[in-house]
Amino acid sequence: MNKERIIMLSDCQSFYASVEKAANPQYNGKPLAVAGDPARRSGIILAACPLAKQQGVSTAETLKEALAKCPELIVVRPRMQHYIDVSAQITGILRTFSDLVEPYSIDEQFIDITGSISLFGSPQQIAAAIQDQISKETGVYARIGISYSKVTAKMACDLWAKKIKGGLFTLAREQLPELLWPQPIGNLFMVGRRMSAHFHSMGLTTIGHLAQMPLAELKWRMREKFHKNCDIDAELYWRIAGGLDDSPVHPATYEAPPKSVGHQMTLPRDYYTLAEIKTVLLELAELVCRRCRRLAVNGAVVSVGCQGASFEAPTGFSRQSKMSDPTNATSLVYEAAVALFRRHWDGQPVRRVNLSLSELSDENQYQLTLFESRPRYRELERATDNLKNKYGDTIIGRAASFTDSGLIKDRAGKIGGHYK
């Protein structure tokens, strides 16, 4: 009989703000938030410390709104590379307790301690030791959910550990009917506000209602509700509600082979002309193909999409096309992307553009042609890739990227859209 797993989810409280407070002791006892551009008093709140939250400041609101609620708010510009470094430091701390550590986000990490009990004590003792070590080394407070699976550890953390003194909570399998199932359906992991409303309209108001419904009936109800086949989604929600999750905790070094490689850019303003958009497509093709070259794969299918700025009256499209031969050559992917975009764009202003390659294959296996010098393309792009890897993305680039519509120069100083 297999031994019941013991899995934890560690979640760092107000991570960006906590890191800044740890680095700047003079901010202790004062409300602090990390936001886009404090000098210009613009941008959105990325993180707020508990003191700021007590005064009504919340993430995702504008800096102007936050300052109206809390005029004494200390606003710090984000330092994304530093946050990534601290997150990696926390990964290292967790790995002293188990080699099975899987980062879930920059501030959340799973750890499987099933094999560590004999070395470090009970799950509660290990969780307390992890909390203590993270606090001592980084100044960050971690809340930890403990359970038998990743999905139940996540809910143990979100629904209980984050809300109780001490920040530790254990959710056992036999406690699901008593503790988890009476919870509102909106508290189920992966159920947002809109999906919660859909479940309510189906008469499923608690997690238990969903967990106890026969799967076949749930699939039928969702097909009737959304007028399409929702069997995969139905089974996913049903399994989460029932605490059914056998997925392993992958070590931090694990990287599943991708089925596609893609990238998207949110533009700083509306782009109205094809000439401007072609610059973005060229930069996206470069980013996607560079990653494909790093993975040593070619792509056979190019996908292109765009969106306008309005959420109430959305515009845009998403289309794909198969190229004559798989490739990771930037110029060839760019040509295919432009042709696809030109064919389907309705001329409306564009605020977001995405490009991806799929049907990936080994780059060393390709069809020779009379009209294309693949070795020449590969040598040229390998040389430019090496320069960028060594000296940064802006050491060499295409002329179009240095026009007003180019974004690479600005993005080179950012991570995830925020300054390093």
User: With the CA atoms of 79, 82, 88 and 90 taken in that order, what torsion angle do they form, in degrees rounded to the nearest 10?
Assistant: -90
Give the three-class secondary structure for 343: helix
Q: What percent of the chain has pLDDT over 90?
A: 75
Answer yes or no: is pLDDT of 247 > 70: yes
Q: What is the pLDDT of residues 56-88, one digit of tens each?
A: 999 989 999 999 999 999 999 999 889 999 999
Q: What percent of the chain has pLDDT over 70?
A: 88
User: With the CA atoms of 411, 413, 416 and 417 taken in that order, what torsion angle do they form, in degrees rounded to the nearest 10?
Assistant: -60
**Mean pLDDT across the chain, nearest whole number?**
90
Give the three-class secondary structure for 105: strand
pLDDT of residue 42: 60
Asked whether 324 and 275 are in contact (CB, 8 A), the reply is no
Burial 204-216 (b: 16+ CB within 10 A, else e): bebbbebbebeee
Known binding-site positions for Mg(2+): 11, 107
108 is catalytic: yes
211, 208, 185: which is closest to 198 by C-alpha? 185
Q: What is the pLDDT of residues 257-292, one digit of tens each?
A: 788 999 999 888 999 999 999 999 999 999 999 999
For residues 197 and 3, the model is more confident at 197
Tell me the residue type at 352: R
107-121, 242-256, 392-406, range with the lowest pLDDT: 392-406
Answer yes or no: is pLDDT of 366 > 70: no
For residues 173 and 418, the model is more confident at 173
Burial 385-405 (b: 16+ CB within 10 A, else e): beebeeeebeeebbebbeeeb
pLDDT of residue 104: 95
Answer yes or no: is pLDDT of 235 > 60: yes
pLDDT of residue 111: 98
Q: What is the pLDDT of residues 41-58, one digit of tens each?
A: 667 899 999 999 999 999
For residues 378 and 112, the model is more confident at 112
Q: Which long-range contacts (CB under 8 A, 24 or more apart) does 400-403 make?
A: 400/278, 400/279, 400/282, 401/279, 401/282, 401/283, 403/279
Q: How confident is the model at residue 362 (pLDDT cuts 50, 70, 90)?
A: confident
pLDDT of residue 266: 87
In order, the DSSP letters of 242-265 are: TT--------TT--PPPSEEEEEE
Q: How confident is the model at residue 321 (pLDDT cuts 50, 70, 90)?
A: very high
Selecting among 20, 61, 102, 108, the annotated active-site residue is 108
Asked whether 325 and 366 are in contact (CB, 8 A), the reply is yes
Q: How confident is the model at residue 389 (pLDDT cuts 50, 70, 90)?
A: confident
6-20, 90-104, 352-366, range with the lowest pLDDT: 352-366
**Structural domains of the chain in order of their starting residue, each with its CATH number:** 15-79 (3.40.1170.60), 179-241 (1.10.150.20), 260-419 (3.30.1490.100)
The residue whose two tokens read 């180019």 is 406
pLDDT of residue 359: 93
Q: What is the pLDDT of residues 134-145, one digit of tens each?
A: 999 999 999 999
Q: Which long-range contacts (CB under 8 A, 24 or more apart) does 267-272 make?
A: 267/350, 267/351, 267/352, 267/353, 267/407, 268/407, 268/410, 269/351, 270/308, 270/309, 270/349, 270/350, 270/351, 271/349, 271/350, 271/351, 271/405, 272/349, 272/350
42-46, 150-154, 297-301, 353-357, range with the lowest pLDDT: 42-46
Could you tell me how far CA 200 lies from the centroid of its own chain? Answer: 28
pLDDT of residue 373: 62
